[in-house]
Amino acid sequence: MKRKIAVLLAAVLLGIAVMPGVLASADEVEISAPSAVLMEASTGKVLFEKNSHEVRPCASITKVMTLCLTFDAIDSGQLSLTDTLTASAHASSMGGSDIWLKEGEAMTVDDLLKATVIMSANDAAVVLAENVGGSEEAFVQRMNQKAQELGMNDTVFKNCNGLDEEGHVTSAHDVALMSRELLTHPKIFDYTLTWIDYVRDGQTQLVNTNKLIRTYNGITGLKTGTTSQAGSCITATAERNSLGLISVILGADSTDNRFKDAAALLDYGFANWSVTVPETPELPEVPVKGAMQDTVKVKVGEMPKILLKSSDQGTVEEKVELQETIEAPVNEGDVLGKVKFLVNGETMAEVEITAAGNAEKITFGSSFFYLLRSFVSF
């Protein structure tokens, strides 16, 4: 029977020290908005929350999910940035923030994305939704399906652009989850970091609704939203020294306060947290029983980002668990163990250890061939 042992019984200290400091606690972060959350992007760990699961409207932050599905369609080849789409009567009937699309007007996917992200155009979002989903109604069904896949249990979408509608709700926590998903499409930053752009051959100017891209160090996006029911909302993303943060503010009483609150959460995150990537450990080959070879080499998966709190004064510990011996046959990619990364005794991440090659099982035929080859070589 295969027996697992820890080949390194004592955890190996990686030598990554976390320096102490006198820093604010989450309770000391002043957030005026009724609902907020701060999430680390790579791990999804919540660093601060205030009524984060309170169900609320989120206005145009809804478009984060619309963008997720649109970029999924681009990645799958359903759409390309150069495709030209035509505005329907339904799309051209949108109110609120828009670029005044006329029924039958054609615009490229690239320009529609500019309008949706930079200016938060409701009509442009509907054109994208209709072409990805077949209709806005069908697209909204896909939005809700995607929300469930992401674990957005507080969310029900009724439209693709966030205009006030009965039952169209989410939470700060769920907004952070879908924002994290959108960050997996790096092309989004081409739009979120653009301050001013133009469509219609320069006739229509687009000015970014996210003022933080001009004032906050490390800002990368992401989306604002305002309606009478939702108040002033924002999901703000930023990165410094490989630490990515998602700051969500819902229901602020003014545009200025949403930006102030979002920046305060980002400041708290960058002051109190950091990430590190451990070095890949060197591991011994594993003995193989009943194989034509004595051992098989192993490889370790991609090293994870480890989230560290600056006040912990801790170190990252590495614990390797690897099978002492294995039975043939062994196929490349077979899981043979794992590496655990711990901070103050808590497991922060795990990475699989797999076989780096094959080890065939000894058979009569393989033994005969081996002996024959040995005689020929002799």
Active site residues: 60, 63, 120
Vertex 208 angle, CA 204 and 212, to 5°: 165
Amino acid present at 229 = Q
